[in-house]
Chains A and B, each alone.
Chain A
Amino acid sequence: MIQAGLMGADKIEWMNARKYMYQLLIVMFSTPMSQESYSLIKDNVQTNGFPEEISDGDFLKSFFQEEESFAIQKAREDYFRLFVGPDSLPCPPWESVYRGKDRALFDYPTFEVRDLYSSFGLEMKKQEGQHDEADDHLIYELEFMSILIDKVLDADSPAEQTAALLGQKKMLDEHLKKWIPDLAQDILTNASSLYFQGSANILNSFIQFDSELVNELL
Chain B
Amino acid sequence: MAQLGFYINNDYCTGCKACVVACKDKNDNEVGVNFRRVYEHSEGDYVERDHAVIQNIQTFFTSISCNHCENPKCVEGCPTGAMYKREEDGVVLVDHDKCVGCKYCVWNCPYGAPQYNEVLGKMTKCDFCIDLISAGENPACVGSCPMRAIEYGPIEELRAKYGNVSDIKGLPNSSITKPNLVITAHRNAK
A–B proximity contact (CB within 8 A) = yes
Give the complex CA separation of A102 and B29 in angstroms.
7
When each residue 58-93 of chain B gets 1 if its CB lies under 8 Å from chain A and 0 otherwise, what string results?
000000000000000000000000000000000000
Closest to A101 in B: B28
Give the complex CA separation of A102 and B118 in angstroms.
13
Secondary structure of the B contact surface, majority rule: loop
Closest to B27 in A: A101
Please tell me if B31 contacts chain A, counting CB pairs below 8 Å: yes
Please tell me if B137 contacts chain A, counting CB pairs below 8 Å: no
Secondary structure of the A contact surface, majority rule: loop
Closest to A99 in B: B119
Query: Residues of A contacting B28 with CB < 8 Å?
Result: 100-102, 107
Give the complex CA separation of A102 and B28 in angstroms.
7
When each residue 15-36 of chain B gets 1 if its CB lies under 8 Å from chain A and 0 otherwise, what string results?
0000000000000111100000
In the complex, chain A residues 91-138 whose Cβ is within 8 Å of any chain B Cβ: 100-102, 107
- How many residues of chain A get a CB closer than 8 Å to chain B's CBs? 4
Closest to B119 in A: A101
When each residue 70-107 of chain A gets 1 if its CB lies under 8 Å from chain B and 0 otherwise, what string results?
00000000000000000000000000000011100001
Closest to A102 in B: B30
Query: Residues of A contacting B30 with CB < 8 Å?
Result: 101-102
Query: Residues of A contacting B31 with CB < 8 Å?
Result: 102
A119 smallest CB distance to B (angstroms) = 26
Give the complex CA separation of A174 and B46 in angstroms.
61
Query: Residues of B contacting A107 with CB < 8 Å?
Result: 28
Give the complex CA separation of A101 and B29 in angstroms.
6
B140 smallest CB distance to A (angstroms) = 15
Closest to A104 in B: B28
Give the complex CA separation of A100 and B29 in angstroms.
10
Give the complex CA separation of A107 and B30 in angstroms.
13
Query: Residues of B contacting A102 with CB < 8 Å?
Result: 28-31
Give the complex CA separation of A100 and B30 in angstroms.
9
Query: Residues of B contacting A100 with CB < 8 Å?
Result: 28
- 10 A-B interface contacts by CB (under 8 A): A100-B28, A101-B28, A101-B29, A101-B30, A101-B119, A102-B28, A102-B29, A102-B30, A102-B31, A107-B28
Chain B positions near chain A (C-beta within 8 angstroms): 28-31, 119
Chain A positions near chain B (C-beta within 8 angstroms): 100-102, 107
